[in-house]
Chain A
Amino acid sequence: MTAMGRLASLFGAEAPDNACRYAGQPGHVESYFLRANHPARPLALWLKATVLAPLEGPAVAEAWFIFFDGEKGTTFAHRQTEPFPDASFAGVGAPELLARAAGLSLHLGPRGTARGRFAAPEGTATVDVAWERDPSPVGKPLSIYPYRLLRTGPFPKSKLLTPFPALRFSGRVLLPGGEVTLDGWHGMQGHNWGKEHAFEYAWGQCLFPEDDVMVEGFSGRVRVAGRTTPRMSALVVRKGARTFRFDTLFDTWRQAAEVTQDTWSLTLRSADGEAHVQMDASGRPMVCLGYGNPNGELSYCFNSKLAKVTLTVRPMDDASFTCVSAHGGALEFLRREADPRFPHVV
């Protein structure tokens, strides 16, 4: 890319949220993911389509599927891979995208669909779901990063956006153990990309439909010039039409994050007030996913979509509020080390 081209990408018009950033260059990883939770029961669906372009070798497309059943304490998880030329990630106008990867087809947009078939050794799962954006302002596109340069510039190497933070799902999932009907399930769609996965992070998202509240945030460390940075955190909370941003990423003075094997808690202060979120996936179904990095290293993603979440916000100009979700939290930990509790890495 020329110097002018680089400047244009930094300061020019940003690509639509769901536009595919992969342009055939080596050293790229990008994913589109969806998750949906039963409104009352501990059941959740997670889907993801990925592009992985290593520094050396051909790019591949991957499709991921997990069904979490907190009632039985089980998961059904599978990944399928195919050469990238056999896949397709095509824009059909902002903010929509058609993604087809290794048996999974996604039509991403405010009204979208996901169809796929996953043939795992323990049986086959099929998914056929549709969704529409929650009409509340809570469902507006979201970027946790406070500055556009963090999305368009070289730092950090991994970018994230949430084109649709609040969706309502319907459809069905056929599992080896039976069929599950999705009717009014709550969820979201995210998009991330970059030159590599972050070195380490805890990421969480949760909807509290009865309170018209949404929270998404992370605590992470990245590598800069071969060194690992201190943990940086950010959180965005929406309540109806109001957005509370706790995204002073580099102000570690006003961040207190604690990450354990299965829990993440974070307290942040900003000009909008103070927020505390606690996410806990202890004793709940969790899956270990192997995320390839373009340099060949493997990261391990410990993925739960049934975390218990407690959120308290104390706005500077309003009374405080607390929201609790018994099992509606998306909680992921990305680490560089395997965990002996998970002998099977998907």
Chain B
Amino acid sequence: MPIAFVETMRGTVRDASGVERPVDFHVRAAGGAGGRFELSGVVHAAPWVDEAVATGTLALSALPASIAYDVRFRAADGRTLRLHGAKKPSLFRPVTSMTVLPVTLSDEAGLAQGEGTLRFDLMDLPRFLASWLPVPTKAHRQLAARRAAVARKELA
């Protein structure tokens, strides 16, 4: 049975001029076969783009332990940007290793635009856990509505 959950990661990315930029993404991960999930959601990453729909993948690996995110979105200047990085789960640092995501923002050519760190807020844990339930939860419905609204805004 496919698995789905909703996750939010927030943090900052340091741009080429050294300025810390607030960045976050809110994604629904669905799938799970072979440890691979498809991501869809919304990203905020000004000044690259205030708000955009996001797609991507999440890949789980057992050895070495890794949860790799690859979130793609279209910047205001039309380029496709990737926000990618991986958590490295560790028994010695279970909370930090599962909540902290070092990321790189790069363009289509792989050129880095910035680097930073995103975090999962433990205050979001109840909502995150509830989103794993095999029924459509509020988190899934809200994110779907949000993504659709952002897509409409992009078209307009």
Contact = CB atoms under 8 A, between A and B. Distances in A.
Contact of B142 (A251, A253, A254, A317): A317
Counting chain A CB atoms within 10 Å of each CB, the highest count among B121, B123, B146, B149 belongs to B146
Contact of A316 (B121, B142, B150): B142
Interface in B133-149: 141-143, 145-146, 149
A319 B123 contact: no
A27 interface: no
B140 to A, nearest CB: 11
B44 A319 contact: no
B142 A314 contact: no
Contacts of A318: 145-146, 149
B123 A320 contact: no
Q: Summarize B's interface: helix, strand, loop or mixed.
A: helix
**What is the interface residue range for chain A against chain B?**
10 to 19
Contacts of B51: 314, 319-320
A6 B121 CA distance: 41
Contacts, number: 29
**What is the interface residue range for chain B against chain A?**
10 to 19
A315 B123 contact: no
Counting chain B CB atoms within 10 Å of each CB, the highest count among A314, A315, A319 belongs to A319
B152 A319 contact: yes
Contact of A254 (B44, B123, B150, B152): B123
Contacts of A251: 123
A320 to B, nearest CB: 5
Interface string A275-286: 000000000000
B145 to A, nearest CB: 4
Interface in B16-58: 44, 50-51
A136 B143 CA distance: 28
Contacts of B79: none
B123 A253 contact: yes
Contacts of A320: 44, 50-51, 150
Contact of A314 (B44, B123, B141, B143): B44
Contacts of B152: 319
Interface of A: 251, 253-254, 314-320
